[in-house]
Amino acid sequence: MVNIGLLIIRLVIGLTFFGHGAQKLFGWFGGPGIAGMGNWLETLGLEKGAKVWATLAGLFELIGGLLFATGFLTWIGAIMIVIVMIDAIFTVHGKNGYWMTNGGFEYNLVLIAVVIGVALIGPGDYVLFFNLNN
């Protein structure tokens, strides 16, 4: 049952991050695409290189989410997700305190804890390709 539990966690979180990356990069799932994401980052005060940062964030979410979901190089996917969540805390949510009801970083921290936990435990037996963690 542990392996099924790890699979569920990996799929839900990994595919969600894949979707967020696709929103930023390609405008899929109602997302802004690189131009729209870059414009939003400019409103946060990131005037130079906003489209580059939007692209990097999208790539980290897309690739990190895919690695995490498949269980292939799970720890690299987790690192990519953690980096994006730390950035979200520092640039958007941190100033709002802890609780999500105030726009805080509560959910970002939960995601960081879960992906680090799975990376430390390992992806379980149900992985795409092969398990490099054993």
pLDDT interval class at 131 (50, 70, 90): low
pTM for the model stands at: 0.93
Where does residue 133 rank: exposed (0-12), middle (13-18), buried (19+ CB within 10 A)? Answer: middle
CB 81 within 8 A of CB 115: yes
| Placement of tokens 């979901």 in the chain | 69
CA distances to 38, 47, 54, 80, 97 from 58, in Å: 11, 18, 6, 11, 25
Evaluate if residue 10 carries a pLDDT over 90: yes
Report d(CA 112, CA 1) in Å as an integer: 23
Is the C-alpha dihedral spanning 53, 128, 107, 24 positive or negative? positive
Residue range 11-70, pLDDT digits in tens: 999 999 999 999 999 999 999 999 999 999 999 888 888 999 999 999 999 999 999 999
Report d(CA 58, CA 84) in Å as an integer: 9
Report d(CA 113, CA 9) in Å as an integer: 12
